[in-house]
Amino acid sequence: MTKKVNYLNNKELLVQIHRSKMSFCWFQDEKYYKFNAIINDEDTITEEVISEAKQHRADVIAAERHAVALAEWEATPTKKAKDKPRPIDYKFSGEVLSNEDIVIRVMTFDHVPKEPGRKNKPKTVADHHARCNFPPYRHVAWINGTWQEVARSHWEGGLDNGQFSVSHGRITEKLANMMMRLCFRYSMRSNWRGYTYVDEMRSHALVQLSQIGLQFDESKSQNPFAYYTAAITNSFTRVLNLEKRNQNIRDDLLQASGQMPSFSRQLDHEAATKAAIEAESHDKAQQELKDRGYNNIDDPDLFKK
């Protein structure tokens, strides 16, 4: 029996989003590529944050060790079910790790150049700086007894001789394929697939995802699937409303010229006419009951004592 594989999941999405963002970054060494905690200010690196980062790093190491052991067990010809590695057997406390083993991401605009006048009425810190395709950050690590910067987003070149840039990176091919697959699967839902312009909906949603896909903030949520789905829903609804407005204008022009409108307009007219007739007959029946001396069953005060 083959194992069921999800076509998309949050874990894979988070990995590809991180890789895409890091293509826009400078980092000192490969070991500082990943992070273990996220904070909004470097001054808030407390013992609690360090402890959480160490435990996160310990969980990552445990998962990697379990994956290696599981691969070795599956490759064994005489494997037994009772010998299958369990994830719990590889868990350990992060207290055994040191500060040098962790990397902390600091969300900051300090390295982003200011751009006065970009917003007429700036309300947030981002409005005062140059536009970024995702929230900027820095990675810091414990080196020689201090927290030092080891990675910087939106930076091309070296730390001393580089410059701010938002165009030198790219999203990964796997993330692009995930976006395309998500748009296609969502368009096959029963409430969307019947429209003749569903291809246009998919294309608009894909453009929207390519623009805001990296704006997902890991410090606020770990559910990029919901974030992407909401963006696709809004894009589909926007195209639907635009097509409906164009269809209404077209039907008005057809009716004004004495021609038959679209089939949808005819069905809507029939449904409205039927509802009006039913409402009129209901009111007439109620009036007849009143004339005969019966209580009105629609009277809200009928059953009040």
Write the DSSP string, 228-286: HHHHHHHHHHHHHHHHHHHHHHHHHHHHHTT----HHHHHHHHHHHHHHHHHHHHHHHH
Q: 1 falls in which pLDDT band (50, 70, 90)?
A: very low
Q: b/e map of 168-206 (b: 16 or more CB within 10 Å)? A: ebebbeebbebbeebbeebbeeeebeeeeebeebbebbb
Tens digit of pLDDT for each residue in 26-51? Answer: 999 899 999 999 998 888 889 999 99
- Radius of gyration from C-alpha coordinates of the chain: 30
pLDDT at 4: 63
Q: Three-class SS of residue 156? A: strand
| pLDDT higher than threshold 90 for residue 246 | no
To the question of pTM greater than 0.75 for the whole model, the response is yes
How far, in Å, CA of 142 to CA of 32, rounded?
11
Calculate what percentage of the chain has a pLDDT beyond 90: 59
Q: What is the pLDDT of residue 303?
A: 46
- Here the tokens at position 56 are 């996160």
Structure tokens at 212: 């805001």
Domain ranges of the chain: 24-164, 173-256
Q: What pLDDT, in 10s, does the model give residues 161-183?
A: 889 999 999 999 999 999 999 99
Q: How many Cα atoms within 13 Å fall on the side-chain side of residue 294?
A: 9
**pLDDT at residue 83, as a whole number:** 87
Range from 9-18, 84-93, 254-263 carrying the lowest mean pLDDT: 254-263
